[in-house]
């Protein structure tokens, strides 16, 4: 057996693992809620936004210094939402049907 494999984790490593486990639990819970029928549109929007924050949190824990700050994430999500709205509105006006991916 490799000496690295049996080396005890540092406090920081244990904390990171716990944070990642917590983020995975949060992601599973949010995904479960999003798959439920009859979820209020506002609640769905909040859960979708929360899911994006959880994913960015995973990056922040797993790759320190690589995640966007909250303000930048919100700005980027707003840009994506506006682009999707433009695409959806443009396709609706031209009679082209849209297909949801994912």
3-state secondary structure the chain: CCHHHHCCCCHHHHHHHHHHHHHHHHHHHHHHHHCCCCCCHHHHHHHHHHHHHHHHHHHHHHCCCCCCCHHHHHHHHHHHHHHHHHHHHHHHHHCCCCCCCC
In a domain, 1, yes or no: no
Q: Would residue 15 count as lying in a domain?
A: yes
Residue 89 domain flag:
yes
Confidence band for 90, pLDDT divided at 50, 70 and 90: confident
- State how many domains the chain has: 1
Average pLDDT, the chain: 88
pLDDT of residue 1: 53
pLDDT digits (tens, 9 = 90+) for 22-64: 999 999 999 999 999 999 999 999 999 999 999 999 999 999 9
Quote the domain boundaries for residue 85: 9-94
Distance CA 59, CA 46 (A): 20
**Residues 6+ positions from 57 with CB-CB distance below 8 Å:** 19, 23, 67
Q: What is the pLDDT of residue 101?
A: 59
Is residue 13 included in any domain, yes or no? yes
Asked if the structure places residue 43 within a domain, the reply is: yes
80 closest CA partner among 56, 44, 52, 39 = 52
Asked if residue 58 is part of any domain, the answer here is yes
49 within a domain of the structure (yes/no): yes
Closest by Cα among 53, 101, 42 to 77: 53
Query: Average pLDDT, stretch 86-97?
Result: 69
């Amino acid at each position: 057996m490799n000496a690295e494999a049996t080396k005890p984790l540092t406090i920081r490593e244990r904390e990171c693992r716990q944070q990642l486990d917590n983020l995975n639990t949060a992601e599973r819970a949010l995904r479960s809620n999003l798959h439920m029928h009859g979820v209020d549109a506002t609640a769905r929007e909040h859960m979708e936004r929360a899911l994006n924050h959880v994913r960015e949190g995973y990056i922040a824990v797993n790759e320190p210094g690589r995640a966007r700050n909250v303000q930048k994430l919100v700005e980027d999500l707003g840009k994506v939402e506006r682009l999707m709205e433009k695409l959806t509105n443009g396709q609706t006006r031209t009679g082209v049907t849209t297909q949801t991916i994912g």
